[in-house]
């Protein structure tokens, strides 16, 4: 072996020790230092304060506009009227029924979409014929507003839950499938090659390498899929109203319109918004953050 000129045993151990300490020093220097973070309280305040300030500002402007009476009362309600409308829903317990009807539909619709979209996305990403055949179709469906399916769904299924689920599926499936496909497409080609060199078979490669590698893109698709299924559901509920269907947030909004009660309409919009944002913040944001942080892809949030 090529060695420095001195090859005596003692010199060599000394050399090795020296090389070892150089290596240890390099390791110590190279290890990234975690930036010190402020106290927990401070971080929470820093995160929560800006959105609260924005909301307060918004309500303030609203109140001013209402007080200035630019528009008649039946067009722009007072913030107080809207909040009392919501408070009434809370005290009568009706809000629970509204939330339950809509949210459980959205969750079931989303779950079914997931079951359909994952195999579909895998097939599009991995099989060339499928990609060429139905890839563009699925992408196209994503830009077709799923509310356009409401009339057809009502004619096919009648005014019932099946019609509503149909609309939700057509909204969410393309988004989730597309998210999975783009997630898989963005996997660096070196990773499957490494997997193969490490002895991964076709299935092992998908399970241990491709799917985990595609997770961030897939999560983005899930998030978008949830947004689409929630939107589609509201559109469907708004149009397909019937006593048989139970009263969800969409129907509540529809009733507000029928009663020409603008504060009820505003309350409906607000509640729909709160649920959409709430699920995103409580479910998808933490999920995404933990995945990204584990991979060192986290951005400042």
Partner 1 sequence: MTATVEAGETTITSGTEVRPVRFHQVGKAFGHGQKAVVALDQVDLDVYAGEFVCLLGASGCGKTTLLNLVAGLDQPTSGRIELSSSRPAVVFQEPALMPWLTAAGNVELPLRMAGVPKAARRAKAAELLELVRLAGLGDKRPHELSGGMRQRVALARALASTTDNTGSGAGKPSLLLMDEPFSALDAITRDVLQGELLRIWRATGTAILFVTHDVREAVRLGQRVVLLSSRPGRVVRQWDVDDLSGAGETDAVDEINAELRKVISSHAAA
Least distance from partner 1 to the Cβ atom of residue 194, Å? 5
Site for partner 1 contains 23 (CB under 8 A)? yes
Give min distance, CB of 61 to partner 1, in A.
43
Does residue 181 contact residue 119 with C-beta atoms inside 8 Å?
no
If we measure between CA atoms, which residue out of 220, 214, 222, 231 comes closest to residue 167?
231
Residue 26 touching partner 1 (CB under 8 A)? yes
Residue 196 burial (C-beta neighbours within 10 Å; 0-12, 13-18, 19+): middle
Residue choice 8, 9, 32, 301 for contact with partner 1 (CB under 8 A)? 32
Residue 2 binding partner 1, by CB under 8 A:
yes
Q: Compute the least distance from the CB of residue 298 to partner 1, in Å.
A: 10
Supply 61's token pair.
């402007």
Reading the block at residue 197, the tokens are: 């060199």
> Residue 250 CA to chain centroid, in angstroms?
21
Cβ at position 87, least distance to partner 1 in Å: 46
CB atoms within 10 A of CB 199: 8
Closer residue to partner 1 (CB): 188 or 243:
188
> Site size for partner 1, by CB under 8 A?
39
46 is written with which tokens?
A: 């820093």
Residue 283: DSSP 8-state: I
Of 55-63, 229-237, 239-247, 287-295, which part binds partner 1 (CB under 8 A)?
Answer: 287-295
CB nearer to partner 1: pick between 93 and 199: 199
CA-based torsion, 218, 219, 220, 222: positive or negative: positive
Binding segment toward partner 1, per CB under 8 A, in 26-34, 85-93, 124-132, 235-243: 26-34
Sign of CA dihedral 65, 68, 70, 76: positive
DSSP state of 298: -
Determine the interface stretch with partner 1 among 25-33, 105-113, 144-152, 217-225 (rule: CB under 8 A): 25-33
Pick the binder of partner 1 from 14, 19, 65, 259 (CB under 8 A). 19
Nearer to partner 1, 34 or 143 (CB): 34
Q: In the complex with partner 1, which residue's Cβ is closer, 205 or 248?
A: 205
At a CB cut-off of 8 Å and minimum separation 6, what does 115 contact? none
> Is 93 near partner 1 (CB under 8 A)?
no
Largest CA distance in the chain: 99
Residues 194-223, interacting with partner 1 (CB under 8 A): 194-201, 204, 208-209, 212-213, 215
Q: How far apart are CA 239 and CA 206, in angstroms?
A: 42
Residues 163-192 that bind partner 1 (CB under 8 A): 188, 190-191
Nearer to partner 1, 51 or 296 (CB): 296
Q: Exactly one of 1, 9, 36, 69 binds partner 1 (CB under 8 A); which one?
A: 1
SS3 state of residue 171: helix
Residue 294 binds partner 1 (CB under 8 A):
yes
Q: Which residues fall within 8 angstroms of residue 135, CB to CB, at 6 or more apart?
A: 124, 181
Which residues make up the interface to partner 1 (CB under 8 A)? 1-5, 7, 16, 19-20, 22-23, 26-27, 30-32, 188, 190-191, 193-201, 204, 208-209, 212-213, 215, 291, 294-297
């Amino acid at each position: 072996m090529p060695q420095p000129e001195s090859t005596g045993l003692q010199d060599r151990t000394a050399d090795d020790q020296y090389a070892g300490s150089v290596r240890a020093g390099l390791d110590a220097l190279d290890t990234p230092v975690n930036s010190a973070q402020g106290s927990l309280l401070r971080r929470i305040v820093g995160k929560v304060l800006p959105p609260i300030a924005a909301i307060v500002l918004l309500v303030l402007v609203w109140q001013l506009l209402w007080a200035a009476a630019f528009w008649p009362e039946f067009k722009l309600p007072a913030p107080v009227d809207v909040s009392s409308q919501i408070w009434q829903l809370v005290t009568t317990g009706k809000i629970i029924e509204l939330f339950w009807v809509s949210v459980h539909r959205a969750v079931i619709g989303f779950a079914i979409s997931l079951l359909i979209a994952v195999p579909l996305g895998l097939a599009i990403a991995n099989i060339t014929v499928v990609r060429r055949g139905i890839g563009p179709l699925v992408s196209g469906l994503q830009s077709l507003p799923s509310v356009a399916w409401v009339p057809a769904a009502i004619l096919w299924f009648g005014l019932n839950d099946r019609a509503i689920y149909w609309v939700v599926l057509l909204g969410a499936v393309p988004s989730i499938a597309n998210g999975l496909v783009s997630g898989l497409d963005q996997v660096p080609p070196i990773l499957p090659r490494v997997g193969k060199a490490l002895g991964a078979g076709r299935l092992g490669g998908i399970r241990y390498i491709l799917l985990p590698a595609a997770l961030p893109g897939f999560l983005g698709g899930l998030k978008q899929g949830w947004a689409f299924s929630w939107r589609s559901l509201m559109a469907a509920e708004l149009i397909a109203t019937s006593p048989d269907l139970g009263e969800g947030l969409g129907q509540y909004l529809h009733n507000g319109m029928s009663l020409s009660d603008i504060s009820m309409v505003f309350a409906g919009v607000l509640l729909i918004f709160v649920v959409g944002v709430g699920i995103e913040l409580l479910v998808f944001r933490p999920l995404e953050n933990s995945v990204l942080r584990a991979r060192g892809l986290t951005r400042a949030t």
